């Protein structure tokens, strides 16, 4: 192949994963159609299928093509809603190696879709807009009806008290939840089991989950290296420039033999699905030198004869047809082998159904760019997770970008690499808004997990924030986390939430043996840096000094440190509870029960309207007391100083009862108050009575308790 031909081929090869999504079906869909009923209720999804879009090299590249809808609302307001390119999939739960596994198989024709959640009742119209460098086009028109529905709407920063969140209808939202970060093959949670976690959380009152879409190749990652040729943590792919290619951007291929490996395992991060009884063909091209040959091996031995070049410098194409067994749902082991002297170059390894259709071995693409292509199986997985969150009332903080694909480019704000990172991130955000932004269960976009707090990222976040204000008609919240406290992030106006991660480790300050003191200290730090915006402790747990799971964790099967951290964070001045990191520990020990009492206690707390302020109190017998206080109310959590996880779990000491204690409050409006004492383990009210406040002060006896207790004090008529 000539160098000129190689350069032309590189354009197609580099984006084969995207272009292969176009199925063989050539029937033309209508320009614009509603996928489902033409009537929808407020805040529910209506979906559109878009046809007649010109072919393009990379449908994810908004510099090449932008597809969207112009939607005219009943009020006459015109909304621009981006569309997205999608491969449909079929889903099943299939036994694989004795474990139920998600089987996700591409089916039907890939193409353009749009999703929209109307917020206004009445008649809407939608028209397709396509923008390319050659010009813009408008076509198609559909109308649909939105009927009134009672809904809380999207989560936003409270307009009445910006330290907290509220729904669109003005009701407060106090996040209670955990991380559910790694979802996928080989993880504790796949999509179906994660949906089960959402159900368990919801049944016990939790309403918030932090999910990663940036896990590289060990779990769900929409924009990431996922390759059959190796893993990100030990990336040594058998790649070489295509023979005869010149330049640093020359296309690459796989090389075997010579001084390199003579045998390579094809090990995708996504198990390759097959449909039982279906005919497939494995194809590719090889170039061999000297007397070398190339063979493909599967579980049952070699697939066909060895392949050699017919002459020096000549590529040889191969086809290896096979039929999946009657109960074969997965491709299984595949190995490539070279024999003889010399090297073998391999290009364009592909697996499709014999009659054509989507690429199944998309992870074999050598020249797929790391940024700017969004793998469709993981996009489909996130579709299902968002739907499960909607079903169970869970609000998702989606951690979007794979940090290490961007971090090295964000060193010099004036560099072309920095600008390219901004451009690529905007394209990903456009796709995310188009595909998942319609859902009220998307709570926030989190750009990165634990970015370098010292990196010069101000411009990056500022430009992304402005871009979202243009394209996200739903105005989802924006945040980012860092690997250590990041006050400059917390103060940045284009980030809506101040976010901190902190773990109980032997080297932690304050003392790691006291989870309550630790949470309160970190909350104070956050609030000093973000006094007037929502602030969250979005990762928390019991760890060793290398950030691994603490050896004490298996001893705490009752979740003592989890319980104490939940309650402490809820009364710390933060805008939600601490988000526990080790979701598999919560799941395996069925610790969801700890959410229920706190959720019940906080259900009627008017965070956004009562001008509540956090306060630390003391009781007569020196129990620790933490409160949300207003002029006509107080919500108090009392904790036994000897009921820390270290005393109970590590030292095996049971805290003695605290009896005959009393609690004093001041600064209250005089009058009659309702007083309730709550059991923090059952969520039941153990005592109700009315009390009188005179001179702004009140002292009440505290019921006997062992580890912790809670009370509500609310003025009558409030």
Which domains, and CATH codes, for the chain? 3-9+233-364 (2.60.120), 31-151 (2.60.40.10), 175-220+372-598 (3.20.20.80), 610-718 (2.60.40.1180)
* Paired tokens of 584: 């598999």
The pLDDT of residue 28: 67
Average pLDDT value over all residues in the chain: 94
SS3 284: strand
Percent of the chain that is helix, strand, coil (3-state, to 5): 20, 35, 45
DSSP category for residue 175: -
The pLDDT of residue 680: 98
- In the chain, which residues have pLDDT < 50? 1-26
Rounded CA separation 283/280 (Å): 10
Give me the long-range contacts of 16-19 (CB less than 8 A, separation at least 24).
Answer: 16/348, 16/359, 16/362, 16/365, 16/367, 16/368, 17/359, 17/362, 17/365, 17/368, 17/373, 17/375, 18/58, 18/59, 18/60, 18/85, 18/373, 19/57, 19/58
Rounded CA separation 40/450 (Å): 39
The pLDDT of residue 418: 98
215, 181 in Cβ contact below 8 A?
yes
The pLDDT of residue 1: 36
Please choose, from the candidates 712, 703, 718, the residue with its C-alpha nearest in 3D space to the C-alpha of residue 675.
712
CA 391 → CA 44, 168, 195, 377, 388, distances in Å? 12, 19, 9, 21, 5
CA 525 → CA 237, 441, 483, 485, 533, distances in Å? 44, 29, 15, 9, 14
Q: Each residue of 470-508: pLDDT tens digit?
A: 999 999 999 999 999 999 999 999 999 999 999 999 998
Burial of 378 (0-12, 13-18, 19+ CB in 10 A): buried
DSSP category for residue 273: B
> How many CB atoms neighbour CB 360 within 10 A?
23
The pLDDT of residue 249: 82
- Cα 353 from chain centre: 32
The neighbouring-strand residues paired with 346 are: 254, 286
Please choose, from the candidates 386, 398, 393, the residue with its C-alpha nearest in 3D space to the C-alpha of residue 444.
398
Burial of 27 (0-12, 13-18, 19+ CB in 10 A): exposed
- Cα 96 from chain centre: 26
DSSP category for residue 283: E
Q: Is 216 left (phi over 0), alpha (psi -120 to 50) or beta?
A: left
CB-side neighbour CA atoms (13 Å) of 481: 25
SS3 461: helix
CB-side neighbour CA atoms (13 Å) of 272: 24
CA 712 → CA 301, 520, 601, 604, distances in Å? 71, 20, 8, 10
């Amino acid at each position: 192949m000539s160098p000129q031909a190689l350069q032309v081929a590189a354009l197609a090869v580099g984006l084969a994963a995207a272009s292969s999504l176009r199925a063989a079906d050539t029937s033309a869909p209508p320009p614009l159609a509603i996928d489902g009923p033409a009537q929808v209720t407020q805040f529910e999804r209506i979906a559109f299928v878009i046809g007649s879009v010109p072919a393009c090299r990379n449908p994810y590249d908004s510099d090449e093509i932008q597809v969207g809808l112009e939607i005219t609302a009943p009020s006459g307001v015109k909304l621009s809603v981006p569309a997205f390119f999608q491969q449909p999939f079929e889903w099943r739960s299939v036994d694989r190696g004795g474990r139920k596994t998600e089987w996700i198989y591409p089916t039907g024709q890939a193409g353009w879709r749009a999703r929209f959640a109307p917020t206004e009742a009445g008649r809407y119209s939608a028209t397709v807009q396509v923008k390319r460098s050659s010009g813009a086009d408008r076509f198609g028109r559909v109308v649909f009806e939105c009927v009134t529905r009672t809904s809380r709407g999207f989560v936003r920063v409270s307009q009445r008290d910006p330290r907290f969140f509220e729904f669109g209808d003005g009701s407060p939202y106090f996040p209670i939840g955990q991380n559910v970060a790694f979802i996928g093959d080989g993880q504790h949670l796949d999509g179906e089991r994660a949906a089960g976690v959402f159900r368990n959380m919801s049944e016990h009152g939790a309403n918030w989950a932090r999910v990663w879409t940036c896990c590289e190749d060990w779990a769900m990652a929409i924009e990431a290296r996922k390759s059959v040729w190796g893993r990100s943590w030990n990336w040594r792919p058998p790649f070489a420039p295509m023979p005869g290619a010149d330049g640093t951007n020359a296309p690459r291929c796989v090389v075997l033999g010579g001084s390199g490996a003579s045998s390579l395992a094809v090990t995708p991060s996504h198990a390759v699905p097959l449909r039982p009884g279906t005919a497939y063909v494995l194809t590719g091209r090889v170039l061999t030198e000297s007397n070398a040959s190339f063979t493909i091996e599967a579980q049952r031995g070699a697939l066909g004869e060895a392949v050699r070049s017919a002459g020096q410098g000549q590529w040889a194409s191969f086809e290896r047809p096979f039929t999946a067994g009657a109960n074969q749902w997965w491709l299984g082991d595949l190995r490539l082998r070279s024999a003889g002297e010399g090297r073998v170059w391999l290009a364009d390894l592909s697996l499709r159904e014999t009659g054509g259709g989507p690429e199944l071995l998309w992870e074999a693409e050598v020249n797929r760019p790391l940024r700017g292509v969004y793998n469709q199986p993981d996009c489909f997985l996130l579709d299902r997770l968002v739907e499960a969150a909607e079903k169970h009332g869970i609000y998702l903080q989606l951690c979007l970008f794979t940090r290490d694909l961007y971090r090295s480019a964000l060193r010099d704000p004036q560099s072309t690499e920095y600008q390219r990172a901004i451009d690529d991130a905007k394209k990903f955000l456009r796709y995310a808004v188009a595909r998942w932004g319609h859902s009220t269960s998307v709570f926030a976009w989190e750009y990165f997990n634990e970015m370098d707090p010292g990196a010069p990222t101000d411009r990056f976040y500022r430009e992304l924030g402005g871009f979202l204000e243009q394209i996200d008609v739903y105005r989802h919240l924006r945040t980012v986390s860092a690997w250590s406290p990041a006050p400059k992030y917390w103060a940045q106006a284009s980030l809506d939430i101040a976010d901190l991660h902190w773990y109980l480790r032997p080297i932690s300050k304050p003392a790691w043996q006291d989870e309550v003191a630790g949470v309160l200290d970190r909350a104070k730090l956050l609030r000093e840096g973000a006094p007037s915006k929502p602030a969250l402790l979005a990762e928390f747990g019991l760890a060793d000094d290398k950030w691994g799971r603490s050896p004490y964790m298996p001893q705490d099967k009752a979740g003592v440190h989890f319980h104490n951290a939940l309650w402490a964070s809820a009364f710390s001045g933060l805008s939600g509870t601490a988000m526990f990191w080790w979701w598999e520990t919560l799941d395996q020990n069925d610790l969801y029960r700890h959410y229920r009492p706190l959720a019940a206690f906080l259900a009627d707390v008017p965070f956004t309207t009562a001008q509540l302020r956090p306060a630390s109190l003391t009781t007569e017998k020196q129990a620790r007391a933490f409160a949300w206080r207003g002029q006509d109310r107080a919500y108090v959590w009392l904790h036994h100083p000897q009921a820390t996880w270290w005393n109970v779990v590590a030292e095996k000491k049971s805290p003695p009862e605290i009896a005959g204690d009393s609690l004093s409050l001041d600064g209250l409006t005089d009058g009659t108050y309702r007083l309730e004492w709550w059991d923090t383990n059952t969520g039941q009210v153990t005592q109700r009575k009315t009390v009188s406040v005179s001179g702004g002060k009140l002292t009440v006896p505290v019921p006997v308790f062992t580890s912790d207790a809670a009370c509500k004090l609310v003025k009558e008529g409030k």
